[in-house]
Structure 1
């Protein structure tokens, strides 16, 4: 039997467990027969309605927090695009036919994303395991065991939920401090003579995967020259922000005295070997010579810079790529290459959060970037940067942070 012969709508309705489909706005798109039966709802009372209008928290019981925890789980799925399994939850469910009457229920939910062709979450599969009968069993020895089990399961579930809440609060505080530290260490945008530049940093959604990305602009000695760099540190939070600051400062100093970008990255790689937390860090740096209209570049395991020519052609600077900074056990001279540009061209450096998507080839992300740069090539750097971020980053935020720098040549 092939896929075209399977009635998936009928399969969904016949699933033996409780399953519902939610839109990104948390409106019920569908619910199977078992979900409606166990929840005590008719289809017209569920489908097309907001989740928490159908199942609100019990206003008479401040301890009824199941729906609030459920909302937090669903928002995590929408933000990260990843499955979220919840601890056993107690819910007070209002009788649909007798408003004001509430029944204590115990459900164990799993929420999983459904991705559209563009990688965005278009639906959330909300599966619920009903364990109320087990928890609330009564009568004889089995009832005693059930009451013990009820107390144990509920206590452990609340302890786990409280621990998760405390961890998220701690991560959120660390995130705020790390972002403030990173903002203080990254250079502010500035006018480069008659050349214009725009810089952007977009932190990842959630408390993790932030503060490892950086950018830098350096006035080089000798002629009308500029160093433009980006880098990415593996890790998150305060540790990543600290390593990021060390590497950015080291490359900034090395660029001012190095003969070219390869030598600057060679020095940075040797330095990275003695910096805890710099494992697998990547960087790309370009030396722009405005007098000679040349760009000399080198990359240490980083996505290639993009040169947007005035006619809309996008040239990825990918002819000088070496392993990440600390990868070679015995670092040797790194490679570099050069290209030319004309007035009105645009140089774009970025980190992998802009182009990489799970389950997608990197060439797809590069092509998406090239298309956006071509469409908006006439825009000023500030508008160009905003347009690229708007088109390439997921609407709910990315799961990796992103740095972007745009320089009009």
Structure 2
């Protein structure tokens, strides 16, 4: 039998369990008959509507987390392009015959992507097994071992619900700490003489609002000069943020007394050897001399900065690239290179979360970044930064942290 002879619509309807096809915007594109039967809905009540409009969270249950957990899973699938099997979820459903009345339901969901030839997620397969009857253990229909199993499942589901609520509260407290830490360690956008700098910071999907990526702007001694740096520490969360803070502070201090960016990274590399958690950390730093219209730069395993000239020519600053900060047990002097710019040019530094995607060569991401910067080069730095993030980051967020800094020269 060849593909043309297969009735895929009939296959879809025959799939076991409840199955829905969702768009990347989480709109229901299609469902099988089992989905309608178990959900107690008609097709016109479901298809073409946002999933969480059809099945909202139970407003009478302040501890409900099913909708939030499901949304996070779907966003992970969109960001990674990989299947995500969820733990058992309690997700109450409003009785279609009695608005305002909610039925306690338990589900075992699994979400998978449908990719186009380019590897982009074009649809999401949302498959669900309802296990409510197994959880309830009611009505005396089961006895002995089966009834004990149902009671155990019910108890475990309750424990899972309580654990989810404790984790939610702990996450909220940790997020408050993360936000305070981020605000204390990372500088805001600033005016540099007549030049404006814009900064953006996006944590990975599912991470706290603080992570291992960092950026810095440093007023350098002697003349009208500015040091601009970005770096990347492996990992997410508060531990990575602590390492990030140490490396950022060290490079900020070193840049003020170094004779150039290479020497600044030399010293930082030696420091990284004694910092737990700094393994494989990367950084790139640029020294901008506004009087001489020059940029000197050096990179320790980091993606190259991008210089966009006023005429639209794009230049990657990639002639001084070296291994990551702690790669050599006996550090040697790092390379350093320079280039010239004219007034109105734009310099962009970033971390790999902006350009790297799974199953895609990094050159593709770099080309996408260059094109976005070139097309929007006439915009002010704040508008330009927003445009770049909008065009390069996946709609559901990236799986890696992203930092971006743009300076109008």
With the shorter chain as reference, the TM-score category is: 0.7 to 0.9
Out of 70, 77, 86, the position equivalent to 1:74 is: 70
Of stretches 126-135 and 11-20 in structure 1, the one that deviates more from structure 2 is 126-135
Is 1:352 matched with 2:348?
no
Deviations 1:318-355 (CA, angstroms, capped at 9, x unpaired): 12111111122222221122222222211111111222
* Alignment partner, residue 201 of structure 2: 201
Q: CA deviation at 1:268?
A: 0.2
Deviations 1:252-293 (CA, angstroms, capped at 9, x unpaired): 121122222111111101001111121211100112223333
Q: CA deviation at 1:229?
A: 0.7
- Rounded Cα–Cα distance in structure 2 between residues aligned with 1:404 and 1:324: 19
- Rounded Cα–Cα distance in structure 2 between residues aligned with 1:292 and 1:102: 70
The unaligned stretches of length 5 or more in structure 1 are: none
Q: Say what the alpha-carbon RMSD is for the aligned residues.
A: 3.1
- Rounded Cα–Cα distance in structure 2 between residues aligned with 1:357 and 1:317: 21
* Alignment partner, residue 381 of structure 1: 381
* Alignment partner, residue 250 of structure 2: 250
How many pairs were matched up?
405
- Rounded Cα–Cα distance in structure 2 between residues aligned with 1:93 and 1:178: 35
* Alignment partner, residue 338 of structure 2: 338
Q: CA deviation at 1:32?
A: 1.4
Is the CA contact (8 Å cut-off) linking 2:297 and 2:337 kept in structure 1?
Answer: yes
Is the CA contact (8 Å cut-off) linking 2:229 and 2:349 kept in structure 1?
Answer: yes
* Alignment partner, residue 240 of structure 1: 240
Aligned pairs (5 A) from 1:34-113? 34-51=34-51, 54-55=54-55, 68-80=64-76, 81=78, 83-90=83-90, 105-113=105-113
- Rounded Cα–Cα distance in structure 1 between residues aligned with 2:57 and 2:228: 53
- Rounded Cα–Cα distance in structure 2 between residues aligned with 1:29 and 1:205: 25
Label 1:95 to 1:309 Cα distance change in 2 as closer, same or farther (>3 A): closer
Aligned pairs (5 A) from 1:6-405? 6-24=6-24, 26-51=26-51, 54-55=54-55, 68-80=64-76, 81=78, 83-90=83-90, 105-114=105-114, 122-132=122-132, 134=134, 143-208=143-208, 210-405=210-405
Label 1:357 to 1:104 Cα distance change in 2 as closer, same or farther (>3 A): same
Of stretches 114-123 and 200-209 in structure 1, the one that deviates more from structure 2 is 114-123
- Rounded Cα–Cα distance in structure 2 between residues aligned with 1:42 and 1:292: 70
Is the CA contact (8 Å cut-off) linking 1:284 and 1:302 kept in structure 2?
Answer: yes
Label 1:345 to 1:28 Cα distance change in 2 as closer, same or farther (>3 A): closer
Of stretches 368-377 and 36-45 in structure 1, the one that deviates more from structure 2 is 36-45
| TM-score of the superposed pair, with normalisation by structure 1 | 0.86
